[in-house]
């Protein structure tokens, strides 16, 4: 599906706040669940095509560590894996020996950004940083904006902001829009991913509306979850966000990316989300400039599945440790 060279400088320009684009929207949960239930059954990819899709999934992973005991050493090991996410012998057996394959990004806390930038120097792999009081987003707005600016100054090329869930739950769209606009401005040239924390938003209608407001405010990506909620990325939530993304594109001509995160752990998960993105938006959105997967343990399982494809044997999981 192409070398890892399609990260572009395209930015979502945003629009004025336009509630008439979303206020009337009510998402039917049962219909959404019926639609998503079909992805793992009748839409399948097998053999060498499955291997190709799994390699593509690797290119879309934001390899992530967001632990309280993160250290420079852990971040450096994560970055080494991001530089060479698939073992050289497996790449060779797949006929990809000369292809440059990296993960889409490395995602860390702001204080770890400098370590990651140094470890990834010359690799072309961008550093993403969570910010704005992650994961709750409940610190004062000036502090949230300062955190964005700090991460950018440290070298982050992408910022994963979190929205204030209260503004969605109270339908205060103007307040949500104004805050995200200010966050977008604080990002400067760094791409902004807006985390909706969908597990806290209660309804799929709220997910759709929050997606539209974030995109109108200039989000370059919309992202499902922090990974810290009780419920993280699910297929119904993701489908709702993809439909909002498609509607926004139809209304504005803008292309906005999508990032599921939280709870995606296996090669099977990667395939399900890739299939859904292709079904709903087409091949263009399967590229890492428009699709990312927030994950840490998933990469080890994908590498294990690729080894099985080329050898016919499953390796012990400890042979594909992440870091």
According to DSSP, residue 5 is labeled: -
In angstroms, the CA 90 to CA 308 distance is 10
Q: List the catalytic residue out of 7, 223, 269, 301.
A: 223
Name residue 105's beta-bridge partners: 62
B/e letters for 149-175, b = 16+ CB within 10 Å, e = fewer, are: bbbbebbbbbbbbbbbbebbeeeebee
Torsion angle of C-alpha atoms 283, 285, 287, 291, degrees rounded to 10? -150
Q: Do 254 and 220 contact (CB within 8 A), yes or no?
A: no
Q: List the catalytic residue out of 193, 209, 259, 278.
A: 259
Q: List the catalytic residue out of 81, 91, 160, 220.
A: 160
Query: Is there a catalytic annotation at residue 160?
Result: yes
For residue 81, CA distances in Å to 63, 104, 136, 281 come to 9, 12, 29, 30
In angstroms, the CA 241 to CA 235 distance is 10
Helix (H) or strand (E) holding 79: helix 72-83
Residues belonging to the active site: 160, 223, 259
């Amino acid at each position: 599906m192409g070398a890892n060279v399609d990260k572009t400088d395209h930015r979502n320009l945003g629009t004025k706040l336009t509630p008439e684009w979303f206020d009337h929207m009510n998402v039917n949960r049962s219909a959404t669940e019926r639609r998503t239930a079909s992805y793992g059954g009748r839409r399948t990819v097998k053999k060498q095509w499955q291997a190709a899709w799994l390699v593509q999934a690797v290119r879309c992973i934001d390899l992530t560590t967001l632990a309280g005991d993160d250290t420079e050493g852990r971040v450096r090991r994560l970055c080494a894996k991001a530089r060479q996410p698939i073992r050289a012998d497996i790449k060779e057996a797949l006929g990809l020996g000369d292809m440059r394959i990296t993960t889409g990004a490395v995602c860390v806390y702001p204080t770890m950004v400098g370590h990651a930038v140094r470890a990834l120097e010359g690799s072309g792999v961008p550093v993403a940083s969570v910010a704005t009081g992650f994961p709750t987003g409940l610190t004062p707005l000036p502090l949230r904006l300062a955190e964005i600016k700090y991460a950018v100054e440290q070298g982050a090329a992408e910022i994963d902001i979190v929205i204030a869930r209260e503004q969605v739950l109270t339908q205060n769209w103007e307040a949500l829009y104004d805050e995200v606009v200010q966050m977008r401005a604080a990002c400067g040239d760094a791409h902004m991913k807006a985390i909706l924390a969908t597990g806290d938003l209660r309804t799929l209608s709220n997910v759709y509306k929050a997606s539209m407001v974030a995109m109108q405010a200039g989000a370059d990506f919309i992202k499902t979850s922090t990974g810290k909620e009780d419920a993280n990325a699910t297929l119904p939530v993701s489908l709702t966000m993809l439909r909002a993304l498609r509607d926004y594109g139809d209304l504005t001509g803008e292309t906005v990316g999508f990032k599921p995160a939280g709870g995606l752990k296996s090669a099977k998960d990667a395939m399900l989300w890739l299939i859904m993105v292709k079904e709903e938006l087409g091949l263009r959105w399967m590229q890492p400039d428009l699709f990312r997967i927030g994950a840490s343990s998933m990469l080890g399982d994908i590498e294990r599945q690729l080894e099985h494809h080329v050898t016919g044997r499953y390796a012990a999981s400890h042979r594909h440790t992440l870091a």
